[in-house]
């Protein structure tokens, strides 16, 4: 098979070749709704260029790093239940969907605990239903507010293991749904397109956990992910995105959320892995009484590059948003935070808080922070800010004076620094797992 090499033009040519192969494989299924969905997405993809650092929303992140590699489609790999269990949460009862190299492994998955009020299907199955099809197409049309980019239609065109989840009206599902993504690097770098559509009905509640892991600590691969959440009136959605890729991995994540009246959406994002990671998180508040929470933690070491782009669109009055991102950078790592809060003219009585705080612990580490607040209404309470600093020497001295070694003192202060964002997580088992992984990374 051909490969992605060196430049964006060659990359697009490769995708064109790959999509033609997909169309040739359809045989009698060329008119299936999922085939038409993917064809429309590929037509959109062909009209776009990959972003460059000349684009304002990508000025600190170059995708050339990705296209310097040669990628093949992800291939199925057999894993044992014991290998999968190593990536699950200890003592947490959950519905678990396992994806290996982007391919849904139903034998390793367990959705037996799903009640009839929660519909879980492959996107290919879900889109055969007329009502679901209309909803899916409406969600896929959303581009978010973090800068249009080619990676969304690319995901739509090439994702072949998308998941559709629908929670019935007035049903609170207390068991988390865990989408466990495991990459198995090999000599051939691979490319996957994880895809998720979540429809939370009126007055429903659901918790979604998506986590990304690698079986090996080395070996390049690229995950291009897309998530869509439609949170209907008075619904409550908790969304955990836990990124633990290996040191050679690339990930671009697009998450687009639409909230309706009196709904709540809470995002808990953790980025510890990856060579280059870009997250686009965008929420549109479509009616009054909504609450939006963003909590993020990122740790960069070595040559890691972690870019968080967020956008909260206050389009209606009497809505609230709360955003807190905390990061630690050392060695030659680079962090980017571009958080934008838009308060439109009709969005009176808006309460919006945004804060990004980072520790830069090495003279060769870099942090670019750009908090943005655009207000077009006059009766609002809004604040935003960014801080970039180092560990407090007096605090280190105090701990050392109490007999704590310097390295341990610094580790304690770093854990305390990110603790506020982690403590917001509602699930104790997930919180404990995140803390453990942070402790391991901090040494």
CA-CA distance, 348 to 352, in Å (whole number)?
Answer: 11
- The DSSP letter of residue 29 is G
CB–CB of 80/107 below 8 Å? Answer: no
CA-CA distance, 85 to 394, in Å (whole number)?
Answer: 43
Which runs of consecutive H residues, i.e. helices, occur in 121-235?
123-126, 130-140, 151-158
Q: Using one digit for the tens of pLDDT, what is the confidence trace for 300-347? A: 999 999 999 999 999 999 999 999 999 999 999 999 999 999 999 999
Look at residue 4 in the predicted model and tell me its pLDDT.
43
Q: Using one digit for the tens of pLDDT, what is the confidence trace for 211-248? A: 999 999 999 999 999 999 999 999 999 999 999 999 99
The whole-model pTM stands at 0.95
Nearest 5 degrees, angle CA 32-CA 101-CA 52? 85
* 380 Cβ contact partners less than 8 Å away, ≥ 6 residues apart: 343, 347, 348, 349, 350, 351, 352
269 has a pLDDT exceeding 60: yes
Look at residue 23 in the predicted model and tell me its pLDDT.
81
Mean pLDDT for the stretch of residues 97-114: 96
- At residue 68 the predicted structure's pLDDT band, cuts being 50, 70 and 90, is confident
Which is nearest to 118 in space by CA: 95, 91, 134? Answer: 95
Q: Which residue has the tokens 């390793």?
A: 108
The 3 state secondary structure assigned to 45-88 is HHCCCCCCCCCHHHCCCCCHHHHCCCEEECCCCCCCHHHHHCCC
CA-CA distance, 278 to 249, in Å (whole number)?
Answer: 12
Look at residue 20 in the predicted model and tell me its pLDDT.
83
- At residue 21 the predicted structure's pLDDT band, cuts being 50, 70 and 90, is confident
Output the average pLDDT for the chain: 93
CB–CB of 161/195 below 8 Å? Answer: yes
CA-CA distance, 150 to 155, in Å (whole number)?
Answer: 9
Look at residue 8 in the predicted model and tell me its pLDDT.
55
Q: How is 217-271 classified by DSSP, letter by letter?
A: SS--EEEEEEEEEEE-TT-EEEEEEEE---TT-EEEEEEEEEE-TT-EEEEEEEE
Is 20 in a helix, a strand, or coil?
A: helix
Which is nearest to 116 in space by CA: 164, 168, 162, 165? Answer: 168
102 has a pLDDT exceeding 90: yes
Look at residue 5 in the predicted model and tell me its pLDDT.
42
Q: Using one digit for the tens of pLDDT, what is the confidence trace for 395-430? A: 998 889 999 998 889 989 999 999 999 999 999 999
31 has a pLDDT exceeding 90: no
Cβ–Cβ contacts within 10 Å for residue 43, how many?
A: 12
Q: Which helix (H) or strand (E) holds 441?
A: helix 428-442
Dihedral-angle region of residue 27 (phi above 0 means left; psi in -120 to 50 means alpha; beta otherwise):
left
Look at residue 10 in the predicted model and tell me its pLDDT.
64
The tokens of 379 are what?
């009766």
Mean pLDDT for the stretch of residues 97-111: 97
105 has a pLDDT exceeding 50: yes
CA-CA distance, 231 to 292, in Å (whole number)?
Answer: 11
Q: Which residue has the tokens 């990536």?
A: 87
- The DSSP letter of residue 395 is H
The tokens of 118 are what?
């929660």
- At residue 2 the predicted structure's pLDDT band, cuts being 50, 70 and 90, is very low
- 108 beta partners: none
């Amino acid at each position: 098979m051909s490969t992605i090499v060196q430049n964006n033009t060659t990359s697009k040519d490769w995708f064109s070749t790959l999509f033609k192969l997909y169309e040739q494989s359809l045989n009698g299924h060329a008119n299936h709704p999922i085939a038409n969905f993917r064809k429309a997405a590929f037509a959109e993809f062909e009209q776009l260029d990959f972003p460059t650092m000349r684009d304002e929303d990508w000025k600190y992140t170059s995708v050339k790093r990705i296209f310097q590699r040669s990628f093949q489609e992800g291939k199925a790999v057999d894993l044992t239940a014991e290998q999968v269990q190593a990536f699950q949460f200890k003592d947490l009862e959950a519905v678990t969907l396992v994806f290996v190299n982007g391919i849904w492994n139903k034998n390793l998955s367990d959705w037996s605990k799903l009640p009839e009020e929660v519909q879980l299907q492959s996107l290919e199955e879900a889109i055969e239903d007329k009502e679901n099809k209309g909803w899916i197409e409406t969600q896929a049309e959303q581009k978010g507010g973090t800068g249009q980019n080619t990676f969304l239609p690319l995901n739509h065109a090439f994702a072949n293991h998308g998941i559709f989840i629908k929670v019935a009206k007035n049903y609170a599902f207390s068991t988390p749904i865990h989408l466990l993504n495991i990459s198995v690097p090999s000599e051939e770098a691979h490319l996957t397109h994880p895809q998720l559509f979540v429809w939370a009905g009126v007055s429903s509640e659901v918790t979604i956990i998506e986590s990304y892991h690698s079986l090996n600590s080395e070996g390049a691969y690229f995950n291009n992910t897309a998530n869509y959440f439609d949170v209907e009136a008075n619904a409550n959605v908790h969304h955990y995105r836990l990124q633990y890729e290996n040191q050679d991995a690339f990930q671009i994540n697009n998450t687009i959320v639409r909230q309706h009246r009196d709904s709540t959406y809470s995002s808990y994002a953790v980025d510890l892995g990856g060579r280059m990671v870009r997250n686009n998180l965008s929420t549109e508040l479509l009616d009054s009484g909504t609450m939006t929470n963003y909590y993020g933690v990122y740790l960069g070491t070595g040559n890691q590059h972690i870019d968080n782009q967020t956008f909260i669109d206050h389009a209606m009055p009497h809505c609230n948003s709360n955003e807190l991102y905390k990061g630690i950078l050392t060695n030659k790592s680079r962090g980017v935070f571009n958080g934008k809060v838009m308060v439109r003219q009709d969005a009176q009585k808006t309460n919006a808080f945004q804060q990004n705080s980072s520790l830069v612990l090495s003279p060769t580490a870099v942090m670019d922070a750009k908090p943005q607040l655009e207000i077009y209404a006059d009766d609002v309470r809004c604040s935003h800010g960014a801080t970039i600093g180092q560990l407090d020497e007096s605090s280190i001295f105090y701990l050392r004076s109490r007999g704590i070694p310097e390295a341990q003192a610094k580790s304690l202060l770093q854990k305390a620094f990110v603790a506020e964002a982690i403590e917001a997580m509602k699930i104790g088992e997930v919180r404990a797992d995140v803390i453990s992984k942070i402790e391991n990374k901090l040494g």
